[in-house]
Amino acid sequence: MNISISQLPGIGQKISLKTAEDSMLVLIVHHTGKRELYFFEEADSEEADFAMDLTSDETRELGAQLLGATYQPVNADQLKMFKNQIVIDWIELKNNSPIVFKTIEESEVRNKTGVTIIGIVKGDETIAIPDADTKLQPGDVIMSIGKQDQIDSMIALCNGGD
């Protein structure tokens, strides 16, 4: 991938990403915070095939998704290598859990279980890499990463154990 960044005087910054298949994505970040995303099926085309405006939060979420915040495919060899070493699991938070209605920081999940919370599904909303002040609610599905014994401790904690 070929990436180029250029300043747009009085407007902001233009980031162009040219793919190996000769397509191009262009992101224009305005000084005002507005973001415009353009897709060119052919990199040398004069007119975009697709365009959309994004908020700063939408841009951050798109970046997190592209980085694999909620789903990261791996090949079979990598799975064998990481099996029993690193586990990612989605755990539903039950009403009687001692961490319900606490922030991630207040819950001390990392100290109690050893897992790291890397995402939370709250109904239709997905929070990738939640902030420490994110409040945990009953029914949240917590994406956790750790070793299997740490995940087991997190499952117990989310189910109402200590």
Which of residues 1 and 129 earns the better pLDDT score? Answer: 129
Could you give the CA distance from residue 138 to residue 154 in angstroms, rounded to a whole number?
15
Q: What is the DSSP string of 61-118?
A: HHHHHHTTSS-----HHHHHHHTTT-EEEEEEPPTT-TTTTSBHHHHTHHHHH--EEE
Give pLDDT tens digits for 55-88. Answer: 888 888 887 777 766 666 666 555 555 555 788 8
42 has pLDDT over 80 = yes
Can you tell me the mean pLDDT for 147-158? 93
Q: Express each pLDDT in 83-140 by its tens digit.
A: 557 888 899 999 999 999 999 999 999 999 999 999 999 988 899 999 999 999 999 9
pLDDT of residue 59: 84
The residues, ordered by sequence, that sit 6+ positions from 80 with a Cβ below 8 Å of its Cβ are none
Radius of gyration of the chain (CA): 20
Compute the average pLDDT of residues 40-67: 87
